[in-house]
Amino acid sequence: MDSYTSRAILPALLGIIGAILSGCLGGVLGYALPIHTQWLRRRIGRHGEGPRWRSDRVLRDRLYARQGYGRVELRPGANLRAVDLAGRNLEAVNLRSANIEGANLQEAILQRANLAGAELSGSNLWGANLLGADLRRADLRYANLRDADLGGANLLHANLRGANLFRANLRGANLEGADLSGAHLFEADLTWTKTDVRTAMPQGWEDVVAHGPETRATAASTVREKVSEQEWLRTEKDAPEPQLIT
The SS3 assignment for 159 reads: strand
- Kindly state the average pLDDT of the residues 215-238: 53
- Kindly state the average pLDDT of the residues 124-135: 97
Kindly tell me the sign of the dihedral angle through the C-alpha atoms of 71, 134, 144, 187: positive
- Kindly state the average pLDDT of the residues 170-179: 96
Instruction: Check if the beta carbon of residue 144 is closer than 8 Å to that of residue 124.
Output: yes
Length of the chain: 246
Q: How far apart are CA 28 and CA 40, in angstroms?
A: 18
Could you tell me the pTM of the whole model?
Answer: 0.63
Q: How far apart are CA 172 and CA 8, in angstroms?
A: 94
For 71, other C-beta atoms within 10 Å of its C-beta total 10
Q: How far apart are CA 100 and CA 172, in angstroms?
A: 25
The SS3 assignment for 186 reads: coil
Q: Which long-range contacts (CB under 8 A, 24 or more apart) does 232-238 make?
A: 232/186, 234/184, 235/164, 235/166, 235/184, 235/186, 238/164, 238/184
The pLDDT of residue 47: 42
* Cα Rg of the chain, angstroms: 30
- Kindly state the average pLDDT of the residues 26-33: 52
Q: How far apart are CA 194 and CA 213, in angstroms?
A: 8
Lowest mean pLDDT among 56-65, 162-171, 184-193, 237-246: 56-65
Give the mean pLDDT of the chain: 75
The pLDDT of residue 52: 37
The superfamily (CATH) of domain 65-246 is E3 ubiquitin-protein ligase SopA (2.160.20.80)
Q: Nearest Cα to 219, choosing from 239, 197, 204? A: 204
For residue 20, with 0-12 CB atoms within 10 Å meaning exposed, 13-18 middle and 19 or more buried, which class applies? exposed
Lowest mean pLDDT among 20-34, 107-121, 148-162: 20-34
Q: How far apart are CA 14 and CA 7, in angstroms?
A: 11
